[in-house]
């Protein structure tokens, strides 16, 4: 893609809305042990990824679409196809040990960022869980980062 679909101003507004909603959804999900607010719009299952802030060192919970390969979580830093990576991407890069909670299970993993070739290999699987990822990738010139989590 030559030009970004979203402006920096649109991204700034989206970040504020997403940050508020994500905090609320993750809290409700965790407090209810995954019984409430466990779906994304359209009925897609979510997981909550707990990481540590790269600078703040605070615990941060991020609701993401539950994508997995053989039960191992896949984290997709799409930010809806915005021009820049989501903040959590930098937190996971700095602190790759994450805790992932689904309605069925919870576990500790090491998140490893995939190379472009590895991502391309998994992309059809990723999009089978949430087809809008393809649209998001088409909306931005950045390569959407993907992490595959491995058991500790």
Lowest mean pLDDT among 22-26, 74-78, 118-122, 131-135: 22-26
pLDDT > 90? residue 51: yes
pLDDT of amino acid 6: 83
What pLDDT digit, counting tens, does each position of 118-151 carry? 999 999 999 999 999 999 999 999 999 999 999 9
pLDDT > 80? residue 1: no
The CATH number of 8-151 is which of 3.30.200.20, 2.30.110.10, 3.40.50.2000, 3.30.420.40?
2.30.110.10
**Which residues have a Cβ under 8 Å from the Cβ of 10 and sit 6 or more positions away?**
82
pLDDT > 90? residue 11: no
4-20 average pLDDT score: 83
Neighbours of 12 (CB within 10 A): 12
22-33 average pLDDT score: 93
Which residue, 35, 142, 33, 17, is CA-closest to 89?
A: 142
pLDDT of amino acid 2: 53
For the chain, what are the domain ranges? 8-151
Long-range contacts of 126-135 (CB under 8 A, 24+ apart): 126/67, 126/74, 126/76, 129/44, 129/65, 129/66, 129/67, 129/68, 130/40, 130/44, 130/65, 130/67, 130/76, 133/76, 133/78, 135/81
């Amino acid at each position: 893609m030559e030009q970004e679909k979203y402006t920096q101003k649109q991204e700034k507004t989206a970040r504020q809305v997403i940050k508020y909603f994500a905090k609320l959804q993750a809290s409700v999900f965790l407090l209810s042990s995954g019984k409430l607010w466990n779906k994304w719009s359209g009925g897609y299952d979510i997981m909550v990824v707990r990481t540590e802030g790269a600078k703040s060192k605070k615990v941060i919970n991020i609701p993401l679409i539950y994508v997995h390969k053989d039960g191992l979580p896949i984290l997709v830093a799409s930010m809806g196809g915005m021009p820049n990576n989501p903040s959590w991407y930098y937190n996971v890069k700095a602190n790759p040990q994450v805790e992932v909670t689904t309605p069925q299970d919870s576990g500790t993993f090491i998140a490893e960022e995939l190379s472009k070739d590895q991502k391309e290999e998994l992309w059809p699987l990723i999009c089978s869980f949430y087809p809008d990822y393809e649209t998001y990738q088409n909306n931005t010139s950045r390569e959407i980062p993907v992490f595959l989590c491995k058991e500790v």
